[in-house]
A and B are shown apart, each in its own frame.
Chain A
Amino acid sequence: MSTTTGRKSYGVKGAPYAHPSPATARKGALRAPYFFLLPASVLFALFFALPIGYAVFLSFRKVHVSGLGLGAGARHEVWAGFENYTDAFQDSELLHGALRVLGYGCIVVPVMLGLALLFALMLDSERVRLAPVTRLAIFLPYAIPGVVAALMWGFLYLPSVSPFYYVLQKLHMPQPNLLDGGPLYLAISNIAVWGGTGFNMIVIYTSLRSIPVEVYEAARLDGATPLQIALRIKIPMVAPSLVLTFFFSIIATLQVFNEPTTLKPLTNSLNTSWSPLMKVYQDAFHRGDIYAAAAEATLIALATLVLSFGFLRAANRRTKQEAAG
């Protein structure tokens, strides 16, 4: 944008500065945008495009071993075509992992965003006391590293060391096993909700604060109750933030790794490939098959792109329709 303006100034106003010749100036001006783009492009190419390209390249390779595979020259890297991809598609563990993450996401995303919205609305209402302290308290878990959070919750989930279980036992209440079966999903989701709600709340809250007060005033003059204001005015007006937080949450869900990995040693119910990313890690660093891992990582990246941008498009279309209607 700035470059366009720059070019115009040469043509329209002539030459306020001493230029060698208009032709050179124009050429220089034509080059200028590329020059400005250079640092970003180089960094992008080096640290983004190149590694991704290499990962994709690796995903089409494999190692071929001959005979016993001992000694020099027993292993060769060869082209694999789509073999790693077909294997990944046929691998029931990857599919099951994806389904597990889907189940996990169905719990985490609605609960986390619901709570975030609720807290944001409550903080925004005038009746709340100690708003800054409360805001900080809700946000704080986000500042705790995921692994630490998972470890802490892990201790709380283990019947023999958890204070909660101690109390339940004293009260002769049932003591559910949170690290098994269905409750395990709740246990893992809980860690994510605990850690992520604060961040999403801040995003929504910030956008609530930017709504002009006149809007509320008008609503109040029209006789709207605080609840009506929240439902009819605030929520629709922060819809773009909700879309954004939803978008982030989908991505975070698809990348779930820390929580199940940290909880894994605590229970037999979490296997080494509980989530797709854990499977990638397992293949790359335990099985040492970086080729299969590269193919799986590529698939996960594609799925993330399709899901998250698919959602964004759908959300945008709706907003436009609403705007038009």
Chain B
Amino acid sequence: MPHTKRRRLVTSALAVALGATTLAACGSGDDSKSESGPVSLTYWTWTPGMDKVVDLWNKGPGKKDRITVTVKKQASGDTLVTKILTAHKAKKAPDLVQAEYQALPTLVSNDALADISKEVGDVKGKFADGVWQQTTLGTNAVYAVPQDIGPMMFYYRADLFKKYGLKVPTTWQQFAETARALKKQAPDKYLTTFSANDSGLFAGLAQQAGATWWTTSGDKWKVAIDDAATRKVATFWGGLVKDGVIDNQPMYQPAWNKAMNTGQEIGWVSAVWAPGTLTTAAPDTKGKWAMAPLPQWSEDQDVTGSWGGSSTAVTTDSAHKEAAAEFAAWLNTDHDALNALATDGGIYPASTSAQLSGAFSNPPAFFSNQPDFYTKAAGIAKTTVPSAWGPNVNVAYASFNDAFGAAAKDKSDFGAALKKMQDATVADMKKQGFGVSR
């Protein structure tokens, strides 16, 4: 559900490695880990229950190192990015921030995030390569520590699939056939909906199909939103909407909740966090859903995209970058911390070892009928293909909302909507002055 975007507020040039860090570095050259006095850090995050997790730190490792972290609860996604950039403009960004992966290029390009490769470089092995690579932006720097991920999966009403004699699709081809078969048997039901209000879903589907929306060569960006892979995805969903075999209403609104709750929609292409959403959106269907890997584009493939997920980053405005990086590494790799994050924050950890331990030994309550939920999820998470984000994801996403929203409503050509998205993204980059190659 996290969306994203972010911003291009200005920043003036210089990063500030202010007072304390510099002093600490000079004063205690012998011990790089400790700073000269008690350190207090501010952390902007939207994860629920984060204050409890941070308490663990403040009473444990933090107490020992005299590093106190204070949580300031924030709105999620793009709203926070704007806020961080605004604060950074005044050189007052907090020490630590939560940021979605696709927001990292934006934050980095505004010089808001510090390179913490020296401090956290050794935690790399705890994460899947595709996840870690998103925090380095393909450079030698490290701009964040991965926190949670959202590998995509297919959710379906096991009871209704059985009732209508439907088979769980393993390819998109079968997915389309399933949608048609259901429509034939129960004309008032839909397999799922194509929702234009969460760009992250579409981005994840394109990623699974092999799309790389932003790449760099030399000092130029290449934008490939309208590439063959994405076009395949757009045409596929556009066709289903046009034929009326899936719904075209947006997700996360009362009508959608009702459709999910009453079994009018019997499937959902979603991510590992879906149980949480279903618990609130479709409370009456507890224990009736099942999770399967995402359908594939060809039989011999086994890949998935990601939808959502975020990281913990240290800002360039922080006067205690080392301490902040130490906390970020602890938060996202420590066994107890991750367990608390899973229990209190409901996140699915990026750290591979945590995906099968502690809080994840039992399935989510909503999926008690699927005991191996998290074993399966961890297996699927491994098949996540790397994603590539650019500096104006927000513009691409906003353009997706409008262009695909209109196309879904009119049941018109999704290819044309995709072209609009590509053109709007490129035009925005050119306008800002980015080097863009065709």
Contact = CB atoms under 8 A, between A and B. Distances in A.
B74 to A, nearest CB: 14
B10 A267 contact: no
B372 interface: no
A15 to B, nearest CB: 55
A289 interface: yes
B406 A268 contact: yes
Contacts of B435: 66-68
13 contacts: A64-B432, A65-B109, A67-B219, A70-B108, A75-B109, A160-B255, A271-B406, A273-B402, A285-B82, A286-B82, A287-B398, A288-B106, A290-B9
A294 B78 CA distance: 19
A267 B108 CA distance: 34
B231 interface: no
Instruction: List 7 tightest A-B contacts by C-beta distance, closest first.
Output: A288-B7, A268-B409, A67-B219, A268-B405, A73-B13, A65-B433, A271-B402
Interface in B224-259: 248-250, 252-255, 258-259
A161 to B, nearest CB: 5
A5 B68 CA distance: 64
B253 to A, nearest CB: 5
Contact of A72 (B8, B13, B81, B216): B13
B8 A266 contact: no
Given A69-B391, A268-B408, A158 B402 contact: no
Interface residues of A, number: 38
A282 interface: yes
Contacts of B405: 268-269, 271
A207 to B, nearest CB: 41
Contact of B85 (A72, A159, A160, A288): A288
Interface of B: 5-15, 78-79, 81-82, 85, 105-106, 108-111, 137, 139, 196-197, 216, 219-221, 248-250, 252-255, 258-259, 264, 391-392, 394-395, 398, 401-402, 405-406, 408-409, 428, 432-435
A73 B11 CA distance: 8
Interface in A261-302: 265-269, 271-273, 282, 284-290
A266 B79 contact: no
Given A269-B409, A285-B82, A159 B196 contact: no
A182 to B, nearest CB: 14
A68 B7 contact: no
Contacts of A72: 13-15, 111
A158 B6 CA distance: 31
Nearest to B219: A67
Contacts of B220: 67-68
A113 B79 CA distance: 37
Contact of B254 (A67, A68, A155, A288): A155
A282 B5 CA distance: 11
A297 to B, nearest CB: 16
B110 A272 contact: no
A96 to B, nearest CB: 11
Contacts of A288: 5-9, 81-82, 85, 106, 394
A77 interface: yes
A77 to B, nearest CB: 5
A163 to B, nearest CB: 13
A180 interface: yes
A271 B85 CA distance: 25
A161 B255 CA distance: 6
Contact of A268 (B248, B391, B392): B248
A68 B394 contact: no
Given A65-B109, A68-B219, A268 B432 contact: no
Given A268-B406, A286-B78, A288-B7, A70 B197 contact: no
A63 interface: yes
A32 B253 CA distance: 60
Contact of A66 (B5, B197, B252, B433): B433
A19 B82 CA distance: 60
Contacts of B196: 268
Given A75-B10, A158-B254, 17 more contacts: A63-B9, A64-B432, A65-B432, A65-B433, A67-B219, A68-B216, A69-B432, A70-B109, A70-B391, A75-B11, A75-B110, A155-B254, A159-B255, A266-B250, A268-B249, A268-B405, A287-B394
Contact of B10 (A63, A154, A159, A287): A63
Given A180-B409, A266-B253, A287-B7, A282 B219 contact: no
A209 B255 CA distance: 46
Given A65-B433, A266-B253, A271 B401 contact: yes
A287 B395 contact: yes
B100 to A, nearest CB: 14
Interface in A33-84: 63-77
Contact of A161 (B10, B111, B258): B258
A284 B108 CA distance: 19
A77 B85 CA distance: 14
A180 B250 CA distance: 13
A272 B402 contact: yes
Nearest to B397: A286
Given A160-B259, A272-B401, A287-B398, A267 B250 contact: yes
A69 B434 contact: yes
B435 to A, nearest CB: 5
Nearest to A274: B402
A268 B276 CA distance: 25
A67 B434 contact: yes
A161 B15 CA distance: 52
Given A68-B434, A74-B111, A271-B401, A289 B8 contact: yes
A100 B391 CA distance: 32
A220 to B, nearest CB: 54
Q: Which of A70, A267, A273, A285 has the most CB of B within 10 A?
A: A70
Contacts of B109: 65, 68-71, 74-75
A77 B10 contact: yes
B223 to A, nearest CB: 13
A284 B253 CA distance: 25
Contacts of A284: 82
A318 B244 CA distance: 57
Nearest to B408: A268
B77 to A, nearest CB: 10
A293 B114 CA distance: 29
B105 A70 contact: yes
A270 B250 CA distance: 11
Residue from A73, A158, A160 having most chain B Cβ neighbours under 10 A: A160
B433 to A, nearest CB: 4
